[in-house]
């Protein structure tokens, strides 16, 4: 909702109270900054004076900048979602996750994921449990919410990560691939345990985790797996590297151990039919 301007002061429609310290000139400057346009409040005031602008003209200028800033934000969100590799057809969101199926002492913790506290606290997330209980849905919903709040997210299956790292290991500059996976604020690796990482891939994955561990800006790594962490040594090569990797992943992390029957099959219809012999024609 756009801010309302009256007598040079900007009002918050939700609160119904003016913010006298924020003039129309400051509002336009804020929106100009969002558009990467260099325009100070003093420059706008000087322009208004030269052009003999009154309150209505300044309101029109502010409305245009507000509209352009919103369009820019929407375009940025759309670009982030496209670059994230999150499914755009039937997207998984926190809004369409069936929390009614989640029970247990810590069920409420899942509902709090949408606040993105882990992202801002630089804590990782692990969703571990059998297939079909909603791990991937929640991971994708988290990444989507990050994009909605202008944080970069990137989603890939563990097998896709393995293939990407394997290719990088054979290239003259594997650091380029590592850097590309360090940049996203939210990196999601789905289905850990569906493939095996050789030593070269394990070493590169450790480099990614190590560099993300040192990042001081909001960031989180989300891992989903059907297997408990104690079994992950079966999927990564190099005991020492694996121990160092797990140490950094779970130094600051939230782990959800999920149980229960699979969600899948809710739309399955089953019919029982019977074939009978052809009827005998009477002569």
In the block, which residue shows the tokens 């800033």? 69
Q: How many CA atoms lie within 13 A of 89 on its CB side?
A: 0
Mean pLDDT check: name the lowest of 14-18, 98-102, 275-279. 14-18
Domains of the chain: 4-83 (no CATH), 86-257 (3.40.50.300)
Tens of pLDDT, residues 84-133: 999 988 999 999 999 888 888 888 899 999 999 999 999 999 999 999 89
Which candidate, 82, 89, 138, places its Cα nearest to that of 114?
138
Euclidean distance between the first and the last CA atom of the chain, given in angstroms as a whole number: 82
Name the percent of the chain lying above pLDDT 70.
88
CB of 44 closer than 8 Å to CB of 28: yes
β-partners of residue 188 are 155, 222
CB of 254 closer than 8 Å to CB of 120: no
Q: What is the pLDDT of residue 215?
A: 93
State the Cα–Cα distance between residues 23 and 59, nearest whole angstrom: 11
Tens of pLDDT, residues 90-99: 999 999 999 8
State the Cα–Cα distance between residues 77 and 89, nearest whole angstrom: 16
Q: What is the pLDDT of residue 140?
A: 98
């Amino acid at each position: 909702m756009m801010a309302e301007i009256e007598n040079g002061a900007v009002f918050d429609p939700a609160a119904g109270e003016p913010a006298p310290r924020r003039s129309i000139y400051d509002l336009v400057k804020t929106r100009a900054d969002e558009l990467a346009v260099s325009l100070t409040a003093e420059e706008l005031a000087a322009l208004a004076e030269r052009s003999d602008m009154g309150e209505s003209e300044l309101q029109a200028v502010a409305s245009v900048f507000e509209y352009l800033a919103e369009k820019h934000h929407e375009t940025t969100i759309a670009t982030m979602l496209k670059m994230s590799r999150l499914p755009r057809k039937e997207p998984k969101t926190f809004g369409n996750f069936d929390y009614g199926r989640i029970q247990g002492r810590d069920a409420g913790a899942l509902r709090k994921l949408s606040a993105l506290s882990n992202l801002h606290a630089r804590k990782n997330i692990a969703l571990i449990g059998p297939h079909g209980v909603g791990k991937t849905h929640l991971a994708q919903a988290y990444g989507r919410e990050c994009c909605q709040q202008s944080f970069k997210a990137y989603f890939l299956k563990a097998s896709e990560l393995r293939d990407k790292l394997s290719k990088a290991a054979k290239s003259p500059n594997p650091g380029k691939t590592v850097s590309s996976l360090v940049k996203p604020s939210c990196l999601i690796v789905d289905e850990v345990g569906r493939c095996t990482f050789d030593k070269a891939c394990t070493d590169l994955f450790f480099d990614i985790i190590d560099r993300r561990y040192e990042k001081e800006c909001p960031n989180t790594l989300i891992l989903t797996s059907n297997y408990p962490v104690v079994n992950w040594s079966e999927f990564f090569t190099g005991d020492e590297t694996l121990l160092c990797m797990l140490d950094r992943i779970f130094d600051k992390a939230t782990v959800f151990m999920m149980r229960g029957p699979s969600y899948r099959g809710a739309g399955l219809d089953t019919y029982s039919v019977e074939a009978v012999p052809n009827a005998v024609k009477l002569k």
